[in-house]
Structure 1
Amino acid sequence: MILKNWIQEFEQESENTRKLLQSVPQKDLNYRPSDISWTMGELAQHIATIYYWYVGTLTQDVYDVASDYLERGSPSDINATLTLFEDNVQKARQALTSLTEEQLSDEWTMKAGGKVVLGPMPRGIVARSFLFNHLYHHRGEMIVYLRATGNKVPGLYGPTYENSIA
């Protein structure tokens, strides 16, 4: 039952992420709200990359991110990021739909170059926090970036402020 709900959530939220990334203008990809922040292009690329992590998280008991290379393209090219997003959503969907309820209880660990950086913990907890919630967190950041640069924010859960003044 959990997986059935997660798959429905995944489909709905992938569409919301698509709308958000499609609203990122090429002209503002170098915007950076502070010296320690990503550029808008880097943030968009990170959002697209999170979908790739579904595969390692949902299909491997130990996921070493240091040994998993993903060609991302340039964060200064929104079209490359949109292509990355679409490719990764397909991979994520496959990984999610191949999972069983029982596998949600399996112990999972993330490593970076052999060093444990997350876990061990049940795969279901990791999927909810590291994949779903992590993605929502960064989408919220992107909304702030869009507003800070004077861009419209698409309605993800209903009309936005911009829709009410149009």
Structure 2
Amino acid sequence: MYRTLEDFLTHWKQEAAMTEQVFDMLTDESLNQQITSENRTLGRLGWHLTTTIGEMMSHTGLEFEATPEDLPVPNSAKEIADAYRMSSKAMVQALQEQWTDDTLQEERNMYGENWTITQVLTTLVMHQTHHRAQMTVLMRQAGLKVPGLYGPAMEDWAAMGAPVPKV
């Protein structure tokens, strides 16, 4: 739970940096990876994370330039990563300019329910973490290296000269 705006900003910067690590490991070829034809592709998941920043925060009244959700998914991993960085940076700047700690306790209508701004920010981070985890599974299936986000990835253990933990 965020008690101050700075609490959220500190956490967001850490989480956004991890999302950027994931995006930076994508290739254009990997963007079409999916589990089944019924599921989102790796590119669609990345684009969803990118556009959700603006979509979700638009319900709060925060004003900033973000990537619109009605744009088609780019065919370029770099374009997705750059759009994410732009939206994230613009959101952070808008938060610093438009909100105070008191704003965190205010309520907004979010998808037919009243949420405090703290709930909105918490959900934004959890939503990102959820889909970023899905992306890492698809990355493995696409043959990409997965970054160690909350601990070492398989390749990181070997680089440290340690045995890979058994499954």
**TM-score grouping bracket, smaller chain normalisation:** 0.7 to 0.9
| Aligned mates of 2:50, 2:6 — CA distance in 1 | 23
Percent identity at matched positions?
Answer: 26
1:126 is aligned to: 120
Q: Is contact 1:152-1:162 (8 Å) kept?
A: yes
Please, which of 136, 140, 146 is the counterpart of residue 143 of structure 1?
136
**Which amino acid in structure 1 is aligned with residue 26 of structure 2?**
V
**TM-score scaled to structure 2, two decimals?**
0.80
Q: What SS class does the counterpart of residue 75 from structure 1 fall into?
A: coil
Aligned length: 152
Residues 104/57 of structure 1: CA separation in 2 closer, same or farther (3 Å cut)? farther
Q: Is contact 2:51-2:68 (8 Å) kept?
A: no
Gaps of 5+ in 2: 160-167
Cα deviation for residue 158 of structure 1 reads: 3.3
Q: What SS class does the counterpart of residue 32 from structure 2 fall into?
A: coil
Matched, 1:6 2:8: yes
| Aligned mates of 2:25, 2:71 — CA distance in 1 | 19
Please, which of 151, 158, 163 is the counterpart of residue 156 of structure 2?
163
1:102 is aligned to: 102
1:114 is aligned to: none
Cα deviation for residue 108 of structure 1 reads: 0.6
1:113 is aligned to: none
**Which amino acid in structure 2 is aligned with residue 8 of structure 1?**
T
The root-mean-square deviation of aligned C-alpha atoms, in Å, is 2.2
Q: Is contact 1:51-1:88 (8 Å) kept?
A: yes
2:29 is aligned to: 27
Gaps of 5+ in 1: 61-67, 111-116
Higher-strand-fraction structure: 1
